[in-house]
Structure 1
Amino acid sequence: MIRYSGRTILEQPAQSTADAAGVTEAAAPPSLLAPFHGAPPPAPAWFDDAIGQAPARDFVEVRGARVEMLTWGARGKPGLLFLHGNGAHADWWSFIAPFFAADYRVAAMSWTGMGNSDHRAQYDLDIFVEEIMAVAHAAGLFDAGKPVFVGHSFGGLPLTACASRHGREIAAAITVDSPVMSPERRRERRSRRGPLKTPQPNRIYPTWQEAMNRFRFQPVQPCDNLYIADFIARGSLKQVAATANTPAGFTWKFDPFMWKGYHDGAPHIDMSTAQCPVAMIFGEKSIFLTEKVIDYALEVAPPGSPCVMIPEAHHHIMVDQPLAFVSALRGLLGGWPR
């Protein structure tokens, strides 16, 4: 459903994209993908068609580090940028972006420290905002005017900062199951969490299949569409050569040390400071979704900001209900912002 200031306007139906193998969460412990023994799970035609529309792949340099950039569609069309969550990579959007390529110049990026982007010695919110704008300009998303930016989970946080700092340059910002918490709620969570554990290097697995078998979603959630989990997992791994201290094998691409010393670089920023229209999409079964979250989000977002619920979706909405997500986003872009 879509809510404006707490009022229900429209319900967006869930669409079935059940895995053809019929493997459920209960049938696949301790691993999502182990039952397939390294083979891709059967996938529906729409998925094969989407990933068959391969993006152009390039890099943009931001403060001395290369940022991975994927693009679809012709330059000169309205711009649309997808931003992924923590520990993910640009190809989380490779089965979503092609649905928009006929009408938009579409791009997806990997934050530094994730995907095929470079790792940094230090990360902060200011850097991530710079990466958003650098990729958007390099991809040609401003060629036809102001673009729309879409950020999932963690990606919604630098997106919110970008909407605050550069909002007059963009048409709209859409967060997708990003935790919208008051400063008080954040302090409460930090106090309960206690001190952060010392980060450790990513484990190196001796074989590619053993690494694939360790793939999990964070936060933990069920997954019916295992063909999507398999596609994402394949893009999450890299092969590493042996060194004096480590064996050869396969490991995760994300930087395990990126949050050590990370800082926002600015006072708390929420949607109340956005300088452009804002919309929010949530998974109805998301671990982050509560009435308090929705109420607070609608309270701080600009007046009239849509809040869309996707039924039968957990936190990773594009994995759980990809076609419903596409429909909801098309609906937003078709009638909003005005």
Structure 2
Amino acid sequence: MSAADFPDQLKALDATLRNIENVLDLDRLRRERAELEEQASAPDLWDDQARAQEVNSKLSYAASEISKMESLRSRLDDAALLLEMAQAEGDEGSVNEVGTEILSLQKAIDAQEVRTLLSGEYDSREAVVAIRAGAGGVDAADFAEMLLRMYLRWAERHGYPTEVYDTSYAEEAGLKSATFAVKVPYAFGTLSVESGTHRLVRISPFDNQGRRQTSFAGVEVMPVVAQTDHIDIPENEIRTDVYRSSGPGGQSVNTTDSAVRLTHIPTGIVVTCQNEKSQLQNKASAMRVLQARLLERKRQEEEAKMAGLKQDTTGSWGDQMRSYVLHPYQMVKDLRTEQETGNPPSVFDGHIDEFIEAGIRWRKQTQIAG
């Protein structure tokens, strides 16, 4: 990249940013922020905790989106001004500084552009994510726990609120399954590309002979049900079981039967929740997850009908989509997009944005090609 190209590159970035600003409709977002700020300041807001959390989540999201866009616009304008001054004064150091900023802006604007690709019917929803250990015994359970931490760290890095509904611990180590929510708009559209089978290859820390082990875990991402959805579940279609919550190794973490298991009789879908303190809270959380599962099932069936294809919507984890290799070499690779990195520890610490962005672009291209 030569300095002679900098003006054209800045113009191209400006055009891309303007397109993003138009798609996101910043004026609308600012109006929404003002309305939400007014709602958040209401003295009786916390009389309804669920409503209060929803308002604060939407306000946080709107403020974050506006801040990102305003920051990018300011940086781009400053870079153009600095280039103009540096070229007029023959300041080569400042010209090089603009070149570095252009590369940084390109990456940031590309990442923000991905958000404009989330236009599906449910993409703007919050998300419920379920992780389940697959084949591989104790290694698979440990892998499921690694994935749970990875997604929670990703959300934490972005400042997205999360709520863990259920963690079912395996006997020796790790998790049989876990369910959590990411409570921010567009969480479903963003994380839905993470659905599928994840594969881990490593020297097993649980094998005293130090053999290489391949294990699998499934990730399912579902949209949170909104009031406008028609997901009615008659009481006679649900079997409710209560039991005592337990932690790792079966250690009791609750002295009452507060954990709840819901079974949707027509579909056989089973949902558990044990992380709340009361049975009523656990049942409410479990019902939200069950509704999300049924909504996702409905969404998949509608997609299959539209495409004229028959898809398995009975809980299949889908095709293998990503490999995490820790031995004999270090690599994480997405098998759909070819996105890869040689730094698995960083990925497991929540640095997965490049994989998510590549997945969203891949999905959009696949839809266009289809």
**TM interval, short-chain normalised:** under 0.3
TM-score under structure 2 normalisation?
0.25
Q: Which has the larger radius of gyration?
A: 2
More helix by share: 2
